[in-house]
Structure 1
Amino acid sequence: MSLVSPDLSIANLEPVPVVAPGSFLTLHYRMAAPAVNGQPGADIINTFKDKPATLSLGNGQLSPALEQRLLGLPEGTRATFEVPAGEAFGERNPDLIQWVARKLLNELGDPDEKYQVGDVVQFPTPDGAGQYAGAAQQVKADGSAVQFDFNHPLAGQAVVFEVHVIGVL
């Protein structure tokens, strides 16, 4: 981790808020692939070029591993973390690659949909209260089923997580 501390000068006598569980945050963040041969990795998401993000720590808006790295950071802090493969979004799980019958896909969505490799499809959770995504990996030649990967797209990958904590409530 590299860390640039906030301004803690004598003139700044008010206590600086610190990120704690349940904090509401305004921050810029960038998630990127790790550097390769000295070249920075490609950005996955970057709010530094636009509006900052707002989130409530502990509500699942970031992975627990990324939230853990924010805990204890004072408002105004800029920090960069290298998150090891599998830690940010878990390891890849081969059990999460599954064939889904066309009949079920027809019941859940548009029966005329023509699925292609790379399509990302939203599925309802078993309780119907939420959704999760699967990426189409294969389509049977006869169209009777589609193989989906339900792993997080970044599962099993290392990431660089850069943050600037703008506000803490």
Structure 2
Amino acid sequence: MSTQNVAVSEGTRVFLNFSVSLEDGSEVDSNFGGEPVDFVIGDGSLLPSFEKLIFGMSPGDRQLFTVEPENAFGQPNDNNVQLIPRSHFEEGAELQVGLVFSFADASGAELPGVIAAIDDEEVSVDFNHPLAGRTILFDVQIHRVEPTELH
């Protein structure tokens, strides 16, 4: 079966280059200029809302999508900003607004948090995704699409 006629859909392996940028043009991530990445639709490599955007695209297609926050990394949630006693940080830890610290969540998984504010008693840590509330420009070029054997 020729893979030239296969379009991106459920159960396909997609080889693509992509970039993720903000509306001001600053690039967050890109693999243009490098080897394409490949993944199977639905394997969790790409946000489901981003997967839906590339459905129907075929090898050779390139498209720039504007993705609103609700379909990208969501809106910031005030409940994701936690006050942590300053005593919970290592003595001598250099605390600065904007610094990313790694915390363990309830299951022991690593969770990054950005220091939002500091006073003598508490540190305000923002656990929202750094791109929450941001409109994302998603540039995609499809190189190859293959059916997978998983049906």
Query: What TM-score, normalized by structure 1, do the two folds share?
Result: 0.72
Amino acid aligned to 1:49: G
Match of residue 157, structure 1, among 110, 116, 134:
134
What is the distance in 2 between the residues matched to 1:123 and 1:24? 34
- Which residue number in structure 1 is paired with residue 8 of structure 2? 19
Cα 1:14–1:43, aligned 2, differ >3 Å: closer, same or farther? same
Q: Do structure 1's residue 72 and structure 2's residue 56 form an aligned pair?
A: yes
What is the distance in 1 between the residues matched to 2:94 and 2:82? 18
* Pairwise CA distance, 1:112: 4.3
* Pairwise CA distance, 1:105: 4.1
Answer yes or no: is the 8 Å Cα contact 1:23–1:57 preserved in 2. yes
Q: Which has the higher contact order (CA 8 A, sep 6+)?
A: 2
What is the distance in 1 between the residues matched to 2:40 and 2:101? 27
Q: Which runs of 5+ in 2 are unaligned?
A: 147-151
Secondary structure in 2 matching 1:86: helix
Q: Do structure 1's residue 49 and structure 2's residue 28 form an aligned pair?
A: no
What is the distance in 1 between the residues matched to 2:6 and 2:122? 53
Secondary structure in 1 matching 2:71: coil
Answer yes or no: is the 8 Å Cα contact 2:20–2:138 preserved in 1. yes
Q: Which runs of 5+ in 1 are unaligned?
A: 1-12, 36-40
The aligned runs of 1:103-118 (5 Å cut-off) are 103-106=87-90, 112-118=92-98
**Aligned Cα root-mean-square deviation (Å):** 2.4
- Which residue number in structure 2 is paired with residue 62 of structure 1? 46
Percent identity over the alignment? 29
Query: What TM-score, normalized by structure 2, do the two folds share?
Result: 0.79
* Count of matched residue positions in the alignment of Structure 1 and Structure 2: 145
* Pairwise CA distance, 1:91: 1.2
Answer yes or no: is the 8 Å Cα contact 2:58–2:144 preserved in 1. no
- Which residue number in structure 1 is paired with residue 149 of structure 2? none
* Pairwise CA distance, 1:145: 2.7
Whose strand proportion is higher, 1 or 2? 2
Q: Do structure 1's residue 148 and structure 2's residue 125 form an aligned pair?
A: yes
